[in-house]
């Protein structure tokens, strides 16, 4: 085999791989707009997000800040072996950035945060027009708020690492002859760990003197109420799938003597991709 033919084959493979990833593969059985992935299959929906965020963190300020938010979101459904209890995997990842102002437009707070949720789903109900997935989820929520006006308390951490529950619904229906799907997903953390300064403890003191025992908090719905809720419509556009929706993301906790709240409402637009996961074939 000559070098040029080897190069040409490699180029063809790369092009084929790009095509496979870029366009949904239409399995013959997939007549509906959004069927759950079978074993070795993965559906991934990558979306852009835009919306508004409200934040109030009494460690930084007594005021509620509000501003525009932009982000990226990625949702995934993966089919595991059907004989397993958790026959589906569900992931939700996002990163967001927001610049917020106080009610008098006098101060500015910037926020940067992200989620990584991984759910192990039991296919609780399976109908031709409805799927209900329920299962435990590992949830990681990390973010910071930066208040530009403050002196020795300019930044605070928002988030938690823990476990919770995930509920995922998919309704399939037709409207004027178009197949569509409505999806509603809910993540709720039930237990975990979070970090917070001890009342007026400056971060400089945490860095200098340690004593992290007072900064790590066990969280439960009693002191840390949080949820991520997605409502989305999946529409067929030629061979592809367009997903438009709303993601509501709320975190409110009371840790270290301060209230921390981050609440965003985001509109999402993205495309779905269904592909075979090669790693399952090994």
Partner 1 sequence: MNRIRLKFVSVLAVLVTALLPLSCAMEEEVRNGEYSDTPKGNFMALWTIMDEHYCYFDLKKEKLGVDWNEVKTRYAASISDDMSDRALFEVLCKMIGELRDGHVNLTSAYDYGRNWSWKTDYPANFSKDLQNKYLGNDYIMGGNGYNYRILENNIGYLVVESFEETMSDGRLNVMLNTMALCNGLIIDIRDNGGGKLSASESLASRFTEKKVTVSYTCYKSGPGHNDFSKLYRDELSPAEYDLRWIKPVVVLTNRGSFSSANDFACIMKPLENVTLMGDTTGGGGGMPMSSELPNGWVVRFSSAPMFDADMNHVEFGVAPDIRLDMKDEDIQAGVDTYIESACAFINDKLVNF
Q: How far is the CB of 121 from partner 1 (least distance, A)?
A: 14
Tokens of 46: 């990558």
Q: How far is the CB of 116 from partner 1 (least distance, A)?
A: 20
How far apart CA 244 and CA 248 sit, in angstroms, is 13
82 vs 202, beta carbon nearer partner 1: 202
Is residue 230 within 8 Å of 244, Cβ to Cβ?
A: no
Is residue 159 within 8 Å of 141, Cβ to Cβ?
A: yes
Residue 135: alpha-carbon gap to chain centroid: 16
Torsion angle of C-alpha atoms 197, 201, 205, 211, degrees rounded to 10: -60
Q: Which residues contact 21 (CB under 8 A, 6 or more apart)?
A: 273, 275
104 vs 282, beta carbon nearer partner 1: 104
Q: How far is the CB of 241 from partner 1 (least distance, A)?
A: 21
CB atoms within 10 A of CB 280: 14
112 vs 205, beta carbon nearer partner 1: 205
Q: How far is the CB of 220 from partner 1 (least distance, A)?
A: 15
Is residue 274 within 8 Å of 43, Cβ to Cβ?
A: yes
In degrees and rounded to multiples of 5, residue 206 shows phi and psi of -65, -45
How far apart CA 45 and CA 31 sit, in angstroms, is 19
CB atoms within 10 A of CB 26: 11
- Residues forming contacts to partner 1 in the complex (CB under 8 A) are 54, 56, 58, 60-64, 102-107, 125, 127, 130, 132, 147, 149-153, 167, 169, 171, 184, 186, 198-202, 204-205, 209, 214, 225, 227, 229, 231, 248, 250, 252, 257, 259, 261, 263
Tokens of 174: 């037709």
Q: How far is the CB of 142 from partner 1 (least distance, A)?
A: 20
42 vs 109, beta carbon nearer partner 1: 109
Q: How far is the CB of 167 from partner 1 (least distance, A)?
A: 6
103 vs 163, beta carbon nearer partner 1: 103
Q: How far is the CB of 13 from partner 1 (least distance, A)?
A: 43
């Amino acid at each position: 085999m000559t070098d040029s033919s080897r190069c040409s084959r490699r180029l063809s493979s790369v092009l084929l791989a790009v095509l496979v990833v870029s366009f949904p593969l239409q399995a013959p059985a997939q007549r509906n707009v959004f069927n759950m992935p079978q074993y070795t299959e993965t559906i991934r929906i990558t979306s852009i997000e835009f919306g508004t965020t409200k934040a109030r963190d009494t460690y930084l300020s007594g005021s509620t800040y509000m501003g525009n938010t932009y982000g990226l979101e990625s949702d995934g459904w993966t089919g595991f072996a059907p004989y397993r209890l958790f026959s589906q995997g569900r992931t939700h990842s996002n990163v967001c950035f927001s610049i917020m102002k106080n009610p008098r437009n006098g101060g500015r707070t910037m926020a940067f945060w992200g989620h990584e949720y991984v759910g192990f789903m039991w296919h609780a109900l399976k109908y031709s027009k409805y799927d209900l997935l329920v299962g435990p989820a590992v949830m990681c929520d990390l973010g910071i708020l930066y208040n530009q006006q403050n002196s020795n308390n300019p930044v605070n951490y928002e988030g938690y690492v823990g476990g919770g529950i995930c509920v995922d619904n998919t309704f399939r229906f037709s409207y004027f002859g178009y197949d569509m799907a409505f999806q509603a997903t809910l993540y709720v953390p039930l237990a975990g760990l979070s970090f917070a300064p001890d009342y007026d403890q400056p971060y400089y003191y945490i860095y200098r003197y340690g004593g992290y025992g007072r900064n790590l908090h066990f969280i439960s719905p009693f002191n840390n109420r949080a949820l991520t809720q997605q409502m989305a419509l999946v529409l067929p556009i030629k061979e592809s799938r367009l997903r438009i929706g709303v993601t509501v993301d709320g975190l409110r906790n009371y840790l270290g003597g301060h209230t921390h709240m981050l609440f965003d409402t985001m509109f999402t637009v993205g495309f779905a991709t269904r592909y075979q996961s090669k790693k399952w074939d090994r």
